[in-house]
Structure 1
Amino acid sequence: MVRHILVPTDGSEITAKAVQAAIDLARPLGATLTTISVKEPFPYSAISEMQPVPPQEFFDAQERIASARVKEVVKTAEAAGLACAAYTVEASHPWEAIVEQAKAHQCDLIVMASHGRRGVSALLLGSETQKVLTHCSIPVLVIK
């Protein structure tokens, strides 16, 4: 039985479909819903002392973007009558953060989009989705 669903978001249109699928699944099951958005780490360069954006400005922008993404999921869930916990996490590899958060929150299921903002390639699944499927020990529902 599914009791806790994790739905990662990158703010893309396909992710909105995954969010709706997670809500539609959670509601009749009485499952808890959690969303995360992964922030990119600061692109430190060993070559140059000059950075195009100061680190704090970069971190603040990443947090604003990630917070807006999870707030949208929370708003959508609340409109459907569900509570939704929201987290933003920093990671070099989004798939690792997704797998770690699923374990940390004891999720039974991950509902995620088949591809995200990194572009739709000729492949059916995006690289982050493929890696979650490969490395995760809990079920993953992929939404196209």
Structure 2
Amino acid sequence: MYRKILITTDGSAVSKHTACAGVNFAKQMGADVLVLYVAPEYQYPVYVEIIPPSYPSEEEYLAQMRRVGQEHLGSVLRAAQDAGLRCEGLTAFADAAALKIVEVAEQRQCDLIFMGSHGRSGWGQLLLGSVTNKVLSHTSKPVLVHRLITEPGT
């Protein structure tokens, strides 16, 4: 049914558990996996006239965020490989994470977007996460929203 599933992660504990559930779902479907971490774009300081020496350059920032992305993607990619799935990880840069998720799903021809109901910025169990809600409203692709009943570690 699904040949390629986009699994998102923001690096939070909840997101990692959701991503692993996505890997299990992909295994059941026999689908390939693309794991995506969206990092914020580089921001120049407000006081652009004088950039403090300790402020990272754009190149330093991008390199650091790629390392962070690899850390966040690593456990999910290992789980996919252990499950015998073809998988790929991608760190993308955007200030609007939801729109980047939709864009990557289109560009990489994913059949399904698998994401958590809440991530790093979730409001407990009260509201659907803002990124998830925006993805749902901006894509015509199917989105499987995974909801953890209990927080990881409880």
Kept in 2, the 8 Å contact 1:17–1:143? The answer is: no
Q: Number of paired residues?
A: 144
Report how far residue 8 of structure 1 moved: 0.9
Task: After superposition, give the CA deviation of every residue in 1:34-56 in whole Å (9 maximum; x if it has no partner).
Answer: 11111111111344332552223
Structure 2: how far apart are the matches of 1:110 and 1:76?
Answer: 18
Query: Is 2:111–2:141's contact at 8 Å kept on the other side of the alignment?
Result: yes
Where does residue 51 of structure 2 map in the other structure? 50
Identity percentage of aligned residues: 38
Q: Distance in 2 between matches of 1:99 and 1:69?
A: 20
CA RMSD of aligned residues (A): 1.7
Match of 2:63 among 55, 60, 65: 60
Question: Match for residue 39 of structure 1?
Answer: 39
The 5-angstrom pairing of residues 1-144 of structure 1 reads 1-48=1-48, 49-51=50-52, 53-55=55-57, 56-120=59-123, 123-144=126-147
4+ residue segments displaced more than 4 Å: none
Q: With structure 2 as the length reference, what TM-score do the two structures score?
A: 0.84
Q: Which runs of 5+ in 2 are unaligned?
A: 148-154
Question: Residues 54 and 20 from structure 1, CA distance in 2 versus in 1: closer, same or farther, beyond 3 angstroms?
Answer: closer
Cα distance between partner residues in 1 of 2:75 and 2:16: 9
- Secondary structure of 2:73's match? helix
**Any stretches of 5+ residues in structure 1 without a counterpart?**
none
